[in-house]
Amino acid sequence: MRGVLQSLNENAGAIQAIATAALLLITGWYARLTYRLVKVQEAVHRERTADLRCGNLPSDTATAAAKMRDAAIWDDDDLPTLRALASWFSSDAGDHAARALAPLRWLGTQAREAKRAGFNWEGFPWSKYREELAIAQYHVVAIWGAVTAGRVT
């Protein structure tokens, strides 16, 4: 035992240098891992934000019929739940949800009507549609921002 302690005392500087180098390597590995996790999280956030922008709804007549037929349309009964859940996170999120309800309801109605066979695209109210879509997108993305603002994921 005495020999081990004497050996440790004699080589304290080398042992400390080895331990420091090991800790430096471990810290570098964790920093790289954290950097990669942040990049993945940013990509997930961008993807979720893009989904929230109602991107599956058409914005012009060229793609309208095909996109509208394939679009997943929310049920109007889900909209009060959106507002309640957003309000649970914060008053700011709840306020944006309240402002998003009317445009989302209108867009849902238009999308359901457009899914009918033989829908007349000539009479579709494109200017109002684009306006309501922009309002809905703004508020839905703002809900996402308000919900995630104070959270570390």
CB crowding 87-116: b at 16 or more within 10 Å, else e:
bebeebbbbbbebbbebbebbbebbeebee
Which range (20-29, 45-54, 144-153) has the least confidence? 45-54
pTM over 0.75: no
Q: What is the average pLDDT across 23-46?
A: 83
pLDDT for the residue numbered 103: 93
Q: How many CB atoms lie within 10 A of CB 45?
A: 14
Per-residue pLDDT tens digits for 114-137: 877 677 777 888 889 889 989 999
Q: How far apart are CA 142 and CA 7, in angstroms?
A: 64
pLDDT for the residue numbered 153: 46
3-class SS letters over the chain: CHHHHHHHHHCHHHHHHHHHHHHHHHHHHHHHHHHHHHHHHHHHHHHHHHHHCCCCCCCCHHHHHHHHHHCCCCCCCHHHHHHHHHHHHCHHHHHHHHHHHHHHHHHHHHHHHHCCCCCCHHHCCHHHHHHHHHHHHHHHHHHHHHHHCCCCC
pLDDT above 90: residue 95: yes
State how far the alpha carbon of 101 is from the alpha carbons of 61, 63, 79, 86, 90, in Å. Answer: 25, 25, 6, 12, 17
Backbone angles phi, psi at 13, to 5 degrees: -65, -45
